Amino acid sequence: MEIKEQIQTRFDSLRAFCKTSWEPADVEKIEKTFQFAREIVGEQKFKTGEVILSHSIDVATVIAMEIGLGPDSIISGLLHNVMYAGLERKATQKEIENLFGNKVFGILDGMAKINALGTDTVDLHSENYRSLLLALAGDVRVIILKIADRLQVLRNLDLYDEGSRKRLVTETAYLYAPLAHRLGLYSINSELLDLCLKYQKPEAYHYVVNRLKETETERANFVAEFVKPVEEKLRNRGLVFSMKARTKSISSIHNKMNKQGVSFDEVMDLFAIRIILDSKPENEKSDCWMAYSIVTEEYQTNPNRLRDWITIPKSNGYESLHTTVLGPQGKWVEIQIRTKRMDEIAEKGLAAHWKYKGGREQSGYDNWLAEIRNILENPELNVVDFIDRFKTDIYSDEIFVFTPKGDLKKLPKGSTLLDFAYEIHSRLGDTCVGGKVNGVKVTLKHKLQNGDHIEIDTSSNQKPKLDWLEFLATSKAKSRVKASLNEERKLLSEQGREILVRKFKNWKMELSDESMRKILKKYGFKLGADLYYELAIGKIDPLEIKNFLSEKSEEPTAKAKLEELISKKEVKELTFSATDDFLVIDNNLKNLNYKLAQCCNPVLGDSIFGFVTISHGIKIHRNTCPNAAQLKERFPYRVIRAKWRETNSKTSFITTLHISGIDEIGIVNEITHIIAKDVGVHMRSININSDKGKFEGILKVLVYNVDHIEFLMQRLRKVKGVVSVTRGEE
């Protein structure tokens, strides 16, 4: 196919895509842009042999289809080489501004500035280079175009000589891939890093690629087996969805193998299964959590691996619910649950995020670009700080000031000397006591003007103060001051705790959980840290606490405690001992207001306590339950005293026994015989594992009470070969 036809075919494909969502007037602009670019560039080529206009169309296509930006960005993509130095005739600024507007020229001018930037030490000062890129770019779309341009270049890296390849790969790894990630362009970031690895370590790259191909069928079979029961349950709940497997990127797999020192087969999260729900906006969160409950009903979940970015999305707009479950064949697999809207945002980043927020007007689009700039400039920004920064910085004019070395710094109008100090370094801000502006001494509150030359004075005795928040203008400075004040408060809280512990020791009093509950209730604190802080700064006198605790007060009864936590109607249905000191538990458990906790399986006769849960009524635990200490420490106000009702009736309770010993012939038969015949215990399950002449077993049995368990355990211990019989916690 001739060059002319290739160019036309590529453009026709781009135009067809734009027609699906653009206004006719915008499509006409694209056609007009293409005609202009063809007149300027024609069929000329780069030194690499690549056709310049083909490259430009490819970049515009990435911007349109893979990132999802609007007409001005696509136009800039098509035009970004019309001022290329190697052309026979270059387009002029006047031509571009007259035909396509000032914004398009501004984007092209920003591209030219970045292209002229030297990046010899980019691997040593990557964050500074990213900041410099932003300063040179002006319009954030310049950065996005550069990312699209770099993706197209790396896809055609074979056209370049060895020296150029090395430079392009280094720039991409340290500049453009991190910027793509920060924008939420995860698929582009992954592809850029994969292409870098392909050049830097071709053997490692091809090894992972080949192993992925070899295991493709195995993964497909695993996914088919995994999704079958989940799909059925999702449909039964009326959810509309699709499911797909997403394999980890090549570079991510390689990095994991290196960092964790594992083989390809040992990479646990080699792929993830994604559930994409077709939900109405108002049902998105509830549908995602419903899908989560269905998956975790079917497969055992790892609670430590739950990541909830639906309740609080990432600052770049990413929303998804991630968990890891134990699938078929005992393999752990990551599950990602999201809606169609969330999936598009995850694939296309902030462009899709803004589209769903209703951003169609130019002013809204400009606001979106401002949001992106904030995220690029502040990689550690959280959601709350982001909103604060958006309010305080975006709608203000900017000022430019100079450091003592002549470096240019940009701040919002209204920034003070202290804002500048924090802009340079958080430590400089924390210790700032004043400074000089244009050689004149000024205070921390001094407001800066464009072109000011600034010097900062510090003192090792200086610390951030609460009143600084009243005159600071930038959220970066405010966030740092808040963090420092929180750290100071934390230190004071620790001192306050030490004071209280020491006082209690001197008074020969016990600082128990119950004492703390009473103290917190008296002073209206939810957290102990707040009480300790007030003690440290002298707001609360420790003697006041001593006098309060020394006063004789009636211990709240179990009934009174329950009335604080649940409705009086429910409390009426419960039974209490004559003194109201204990909640009385019927051994037949017909009363539905309480249940036996499965973590410790209490049995009639065990020493027990009740714990009021948020949504599952009262749970009865053994005092020796492995969770007892944590429950009593963290939620003492929900713990109530409980005891069994004395009765002669025989009701069965499930309990677990752990048995171990020497693997004698017929030992399992003898164990089961004792359980079935000699004691009359009902067996629910038995699991015996034997290894190298020793065995370990877990028995789940139904018994009447503690004495019944002890009798059974004594009989089992007498079996020849049995070394140990203990009561389990499950």
Fold of 209-354: Beta Polymerase; domain 2 (3.30.460)
Confidence tier at 336 by pLDDT (50, 70, 90): very high
For the segment 367-371, the average pLDDT, to the nearest whole number, is: 52
Q: Which residue has the higher pLDDT, 438 or 241?
A: 241
Q: Pairing relation of β-strands 682-691 and 653-662? A: unpaired
**Number of Cα atoms under 13 Å in the Cβ half of residue 102:** 1
The letter for the amino acid at 296 is: T
> Using 50, 70 and 90 to split pLDDT, how confident is the model at 152?
very high
338: pLDDT strictly greater than 90: yes
pLDDT score at 177: 86
Mean pLDDT for 705-709 is: 85
Q: At what angle do helices 383-393 and 362-377 cross, to 10 degrees?
A: 120
Question: What are the backbone dihedrals phi and psi of residue 267, each rounded to the nearest 5 degrees, phi first?
Answer: -75, 110
The sign of the CA dihedral 624, 630, 634, 635 is: negative
CATH number for the domain running over 396-473: 3.10.20.30
CA angle 244, 246, 247 (to 5 degrees): 145
Exposure of 16 in the CB half-sphere (CA atoms within 13 A): 6
Tokens 């090894």: give the residue: 207
Q: Which of 56-65, 371-380, 531-540 has the highest mean pLDDT?
A: 56-65
- pLDDT tens digit sequence for 252-297: 888 888 888 888 877 777 788 999 999 998 889 899 999 999 998 8
CATH architecture, range 3-200: Orthogonal Bundle (1.10)
DSSP 416: B
DSSP single-letter state for residue 566: S
pLDDT exceeds 70 at position 109 = yes
Rounded Cα distance, 111 and 94, in Å:
17
- Is a pLDDT exceeding 80 seen at residue 425? yes
Query: Which band of pLDDT confidence, cut at 50, 70 and 90, is reported for residue 364?
Result: very low
CATH architecture, range 653-727: 2-Layer Sandwich (3.30)
pLDDT surpassing 70 at residue 132: no
Model pLDDT, residue 407: 67
> Three-state DSSP class for 125?
coil
What local confidence, expressed as pLDDT, does residue 361 receive?
40
Q: Strand pairing of 271-277 and 241-247?
A: antiparallel
Q: What share of the chain in percent tops pLDDT 70?
A: 82
> What rounded mean pLDDT belongs to the chain?
80
* Structure token pair of residue 4: 């002319």
State the pLDDT at residue 61: 93
Domain spans of the chain, in order of start: 3-200, 209-354, 396-473, 484-550, 558-644, 653-727
Assign 573 a pLDDT band (cuts: 50, 70, 90).
low
Q: What is the pLDDT of residues 215-236, one digit of tens each?
A: 888 888 888 888 889 998 999 8
Supply the DSSP symbol for 692.
Answer: T
When pLDDT is averaged across residues 467-484 and rounded to a whole number, the result is: 86
**Above 50 in pLDDT, residue 543?**
yes
Q: What is the pLDDT of residue 659?
A: 92
User: CA-to-CA distance for 372 and 323, rounded, in angstroms?
Assistant: 28
Mean pLDDT, residues 673-691: 79
Residue with tokens 């512990």: 501
Residue 657 backbone phi and psi in degrees, to 5: -120, 135
Question: CA-to-CA distance for 679 and 707, rounded, in angstroms?
Answer: 12
Confidence of residue 315 (pLDDT cuts 50, 70, 90): low
Confidence of residue 192 (pLDDT cuts 50, 70, 90): very high
**pLDDT (0 to 100) of residue 360:** 43
DSSP 469-524: GGT---HHHHHHHHHHHHHHHHHHHHHHHHHHHHHHHHTT----HHHHHHHHHHHT
Is the pLDDT at 362 greater than 50, yes or no?
A: no
Of the listed ranges 136-145, 187-196, 648-657, the one predicted with least confidence: 136-145
The pLDDT-based confidence of 203 (bands split at 50, 70, 90) is very high
H helices present in 156-262, as ranges:
162-171, 177-182, 186-200, 202-214, 216-236, 250-260
Residues 442-462 have a mean pLDDT of 86
Mean of pLDDT values over 129-134: 54
